[in-house]
Amino acid sequence: MTGPGNGFHVDIEALQGAVNKLETQRDNIESLMRKSEQGIKPGELVANDQTTSQARKAIEDVAIGHDGSLTTALRGLYDELRGKIDTYWATIKQYQQDDAEAMPNQVPGEDRRA
């Protein structure tokens, strides 16, 4: 990040790589979220009596209901990660812009420590 006597240096490529990994995780969460929204059916509970029907409904509610469900937790993770990713990309863009303005005779992204 820094070099002796060269001031502050941001490794844009490393930051972009890290954000790309976060985007992959965000996409994985989104996939899980879509699957959970399609419903989770407890296949073992096949009897049609009232107790089994109530148990089946309770399990489905935990999976796809509103408060404390898998779907709600995944949505929270997805939204939080999406916000972080957007912030990181904005920060990278600002670093690149600041860097280009500080060294107008250099190509953006070029190592300026030399």
Residue 38 lies in a domain: yes
What local confidence, expressed as pLDDT, does residue 2 receive?
45
pLDDT per residue as tens digits for the range 57-97: 887 777 777 777 788 889 999 999 999 999 999 999 998 88
Residue 71 lies in a domain: yes
Q: Give the three-state DSSP class for 2.
A: strand
Number of domains in the chain: 1
- Euclidean distance between CA atoms 69 and 66, whole angstroms: 6
Residue 60 lies in a domain: yes
Residue 111 lies in a domain: no
Residue 77 lies in a domain: yes
Residue 70's closest CA among 45, 42, 39, 28? 39
- Euclidean distance between CA atoms 9 and 73, whole angstroms: 37
Residue 47 lies in a domain: yes
Residue 113 lies in a domain: no
> From its phi and psi, is residue 67 left (phi > 0), alpha (psi between -120 and 50) or beta?
beta
Alpha carbon separation from 70 to 15, 34, 54, 60 (Å, rounded): 31, 11, 19, 10
> Residues 30, 33, 35, 38: what is their CA dihedral angle, to the nearest 10 degrees?
-130
Q: Is the pLDDT of residue 7 over 80?
A: no
What is this structure's pTM?
0.64
Q: Which domain holds residue 71?
A: 2-102
Residue 91 lies in a domain: yes
pLDDT per residue as tens digits for the range 11-20: 889 999 999 9
